[in-house]
Chains A and B, each alone.
Chain A
Amino acid sequence: DGGITQSPKYLFRKEGQNVTLSCEQNLNHDAMYWYRQDPGQGLRLIYYSQIVNDFQKGDIAEGYSVSREKKESFPLTVTSAQKNPTAFYLCASSTPPGQGRDEQFFGPGTRLTVL
């Protein structure tokens, strides 16, 4: 079955530690996205990538980093520079924007808690 996987579902880290969230898709989508979701707020875009080896900052990229070495994978690193990292992180993928409906398919999310 095609889909997006994120691991782990729950993650606990100590303050000051870097942590990497995994995102893998087998939908053959070129575009991938990372969002952050906080209670009472809409999804906020952290980074996105429209093609392998290329990615752009979203609205809240500070304190985060990504890589896109393979089409299927788009890992997100939450660095110690991120001031408030506790949140629900969602990864999504889609066909390249501008080619039609462009709906984004989401992974199950990772809930990160920094202690």
Chain B
Amino acid sequence: GQNIDQPTEMTATEGAIVQINCTYQTSGFNGLFWYQQHAGEAPTFLSYNVLDGLEEKGRFSSFLSRSKGYSYLLLKELQMKDSASYLCAAMDSNYQLIWGAGTKLIIKP
């Protein structure tokens, strides 16, 4: 079957760095997406990886290892506004997104 695993909840301190891991098993693979979702709001796109390696975009970076079925989202210089859920989603061979349950990130002052 197809499956996405990511931690349910993480806590970090303002100004610090946090890494949110995601492992996936899909029928075929056409890319890995990360979205941010604040409580009660729509998910917003953060990053997309289809090749192995690190993609950096400001304070956020995303890494992919296709051979390991593994990705992580790295958030630097954490701010209180980064408190949100982070959703990992893998696109399968039919171009359908398989979604993880999300990681709730709590930022403490």
Spell out A's residues near B (CB within 8 Å). 40-45, 48, 58, 88, 90, 97-98, 101-109, 111
A-contacting residues, B13-51, CB 8 Å: 30-31, 33, 40-45, 48
CA A88 to CA B31, docked complex, whole Å:
26
CB neighbours (8 Å) of A102 from chain B are: 30-31, 91, 95
Residues of chain B at the chain A interface (Cβ within 8 Å): 4, 8, 30-31, 33, 40-45, 48, 87, 89, 91, 95-102
Given contacts A90-B42, A90-B43, A109-B41, contact A98 B30 (CB under 8 A): yes
State the CA gap A45–B101 with chains docked (Å). 13
Q: How far is the CB of B13 from chain A (nearest CB, A)?
A: 25
Give the interface SS of chain A, mostly helix, strand, loop or mixed.
loop
A42-B4, A42-B100, A42-B101 as given contacts; A106 in contact with B42, CB under 8 Å: yes
By the criterion CB–CB under 8 Å, are B33 and A103 in contact?
A: yes
Tell which of A42, A45, A48, A108 touches B42, judged by Cβ atoms closer than 8 Å: A108
Given A88-B40, A102-B30, 17 more A-B residue pairs with CB atoms under 8 Å apart are A41-B101, A42-B4, A42-B98, A42-B102, A43-B89, A43-B99, A45-B96, A45-B97, A48-B96, A90-B42, A90-B43, A97-B91, A98-B30, A104-B45, A104-B97, A109-B40, A109-B41
